[in-house]
Every structure is written in structure tokens, then in C-alpha cells.
Amino acid sequence: MLLKRRNRFSVFTAKKDTSNYLNYLCDSFRYSDISNGTASGCWGVDFIKKQSHLDLQARKLLNIPPDYSISLKNGYRFFDLQDLEKASTLFNVCSQGESFKTELRMRTFQGKTFYARAQGKAIKNELGDIIGIRGVFQNIEAEKKQELKLLKSLKYTEEHNKWLYQLSHIVSHNLHAQVCNLQLTSKLMDVETLTKDQEELVTNIKNISHNLECTLAHLTTIATLHNVDKQAKYIVIKELFQEVVQEIKKSTFQQRAIYYTEFSEVEFIKYIPAYLKNILSRLIINALKNKHPERECEINVFTYEENRKKFLVVKDNGIGLPQDKIDYLVSKTRTSHSYVEDEYGLGIFLIKSQIDAMGGSLMIESKLGKGAKFTVQLQ
């Protein structure tokens, strides 16, 4: 019986030892797999033995020869001189119990610099005393290059946009006085004393000055919108509509219209206020300008939601648009130049740019003599 018990005990012990060994192998494989998969190396400093340690992946990342021994004295060589002080400060802070996560420039054994993401924390014994520090680092050179490239591109775009804003401001400011002079000159002309050809010439001058005035107004809008608060906010659409209509009535452009509105399905929207106000204002003004001469102007403004997307619609009963002009207005690549100088097209182009910037879209439906419908996908 004693022998059987001993055999049973021996078997039990053997199973337990095998299990521990398998757990060890499993943990070792898991660490190796994660380390290799993420290209992360482990480092550590033992304050008791005054020794430094780098695992195999860390030595591989730093391209350290197998026979090279890491120590506290030669550890500095693996940090770029520009970030050496930063690394020293972080290690000192970590040795006092404070963890860190950072990005800094490191160097391989041969002196090749690369960006690394590193973190570390203190190691404490059972009494809570700090006996060392350890952590991991990862080569992020490719990721950092892409990030720096993107930042450079964004900076260039920002400077280019600033230049365009300054250009539009200068152009609109310098043209304003000349347009006013042209309009005043055309008004002072006595058409009764002119010949038919001269009268036609004056009419053309008036049309040109009017178109210049409209183009100038669009340039001014662009210059103004550049400096608006680009922070999206929740907007009550009904209140914004009422504000837009009141401003239109007070402006020099006055046109009677009957408005039909319905905002119950989508009452509010998160949007850049200046953008949505300009979009709504332009669409309503376009509807007023394209009033049919034989009937009273009616404008329907409403919102709806479909497939979790929110829409704003401005529909009129005006003169409508030809299909080729609709194709031009909604196209992203402008190959046709038939309407380049059309102030109507310029206004639609402006609001379409703002809609695109907010991730939405603009749809136009129209038939000559039967009005137009503009549908703005807001979200």
C-alpha cells in the first residue's frame, strides 16, 4: 500500500511539474510572439545588482552585437544627442516611482537614428521599496515619417488657404470702388440722347457692372467665411431659417414670396453655423431670382430623415434649369465653361464646396418652366 501511495504521489508530482513547465513554455511563446509581432523590445535596470538588461528583440532593434555587454555607463549611446537629456530625466523620474510614456529619438549600435515609442515603470519589492525599473520600446520610424509628411502637407494647405484668403480680400477690396464707379457712370448716362446702338452699349455696360457686383459679393463671402468659427454646433433649423428670411427682406434685394416650411422631422442639426446659414441663404436667394414671371414665387423649405441621414430641401416654382446647367453645377470636374461667368453658378459652387467640406452632398432636380429642387444631405 505504501508503494502504491508513493507511486500515486510520484505520478501526481510529475503531472504538476509537467503542467508548470507547459505553462512556462506557453507564457514564453506568448511573450516572444507578441514581442516579434509588435517589434517591441524589453529593457530593465536592476538597482540591487546594478545591472542593465535588454531582451533579444531589443538587441535586434538596436542592432547590438551578441558579445556586447550593456551597462549603466554605456546605455547613453543608444539615445540621440538631441533627446539624451529627455531620456535621462524620464529615467530619473521613473526611478522615483513615476511611470512614463513618450516618443523620442534613439540610435542603433552603428549610430543610425530612429524614432521610438517608449514606456517604463518602477519595480518594487514586497516592502514597497523601488529596486529597479523596466519597460518596452518600439521602432516607429515609418509611422513617424508618415506623420511628419502629413503635418507638412497640412501646414502647406493652411498657408495656401491663407494666401487665397488674402488674395480674395485684396481683389474684393480693390474691385469694390471700380464697380461702384462703373455703376454710377452707367446711371448718369442720358439714354434719351443716345442712338439705338449706343443705348444697347450702355445696357451691356449695366449688365456687366451688375455681374461684377454679384461676383464681388461672392468673393466677399469667401473672404468672410474664411475667418468664421469652424466649430460645429447644434443649430435649430427653424430659427436659422427665420433669421435668413429677415436678413433677405432687409437687404437691397427684395422679392415677395410665399414660404411653406416643415422642420418637425429634423428640428436641429450639428453643423458649422456660418456654413448652414450661407447654404440656406444662397438657395433661397436663387429661388427668388429665378421667379417665374407669370406666377407668384412659392418656396418650400423642409427637412427629413432617411436611412439615418438628414436632409434639407429648398424647392421653388420658378423658371427652372436646363439639364446641361444642372450637370455642370453638380459635376466635380468642370470640363464645361459655359457658365463660368454666371453668378448663379458661382453661388452654387460656393455652397457645394461647404457641403462637401462637411461630408455631405448636393442634389439638383429641375425642369424648364417647372421650378427647381435642391436637396442638401447634411449628415
- My answer on whether 238 and 379 are in the same domain is yes
C-alpha cell at 253: 434685394
- My answer on whether 180 and 252 are in the same domain is no
Residue 20 lies in a domain: no
**Residue 80 region by backbone torsions, left for phi larger than 0, else alpha for psi between -120 and 50, else beta:** beta
Domain extent for 365: 229-379
- Is residue 310 a contact partner of residue 295, using CB atoms and an 8 Å limit? no
How many independent structural domains does the chain possess? 3
Per-residue pLDDT reduced to its tens digit, 74-110: 888 999 999 999 999 999 999 999 999 999 999 999 9
Per-residue pLDDT reduced to its tens digit, 141-151: 988 888 888 88
Which segment of 9-18, 121-130, 169-178 scores lowest on mean pLDDT?
9-18
pLDDT band, residue 28 (cuts 50/70/90): very low
- My answer on whether 351 and 236 are in the same domain is yes
Q: Among 177, 195, 227, where does a domain finish?
A: 227
| CATH number of the domain where residue 295 is located | 3.30.565.10
**Distance, CA of 33 to CA of 37 (rounded, Å):** 6
- Is residue 43 a contact partner of residue 136, using CB atoms and an 8 Å limit? yes
3-state secondary structure of 312: strand
Residue 16 lies in a domain: no
Q: Among 109, 139, 169, where does a domain finish?
A: 139
pTM: 0.48
Per-residue pLDDT reduced to its tens digit, 226-268: 555 668 889 999 999 999 998 888 775 667 888 999 999 999 9
- My answer on whether 271 and 211 are in the same domain is no
**Distance, CA of 287 to CA of 309 (rounded, Å):** 25
pLDDT computed for residue 3 by the predictor? 41
- My answer on whether 343 and 204 are in the same domain is no
**Distance, CA of 356 to CA of 140 (rounded, Å):** 34
- My answer on whether 208 and 354 are in the same domain is no
Residue 209 lies in a domain: yes
Q: Mean pLDDT across the stretch 14-39?
A: 49
Residue 180 lies in a domain: yes
- Is residue 80 a contact partner of residue 103, using CB atoms and an 8 Å limit? no
pLDDT computed for residue 219 by the predictor? 66
Residue 29 lies in a domain: no
> Does position 376 have pLDDT exceeding 90, yes or no?
yes
Q: What are phi and psi of 177, to 5 degrees?
A: -65, -40
Residue 178 lies in a domain: yes
Q: Mean pLDDT across the stretch 199-228?
A: 70
- My answer on whether 235 and 321 are in the same domain is yes
Q: Among 99, 117, 139, where does a domain finish?
A: 139
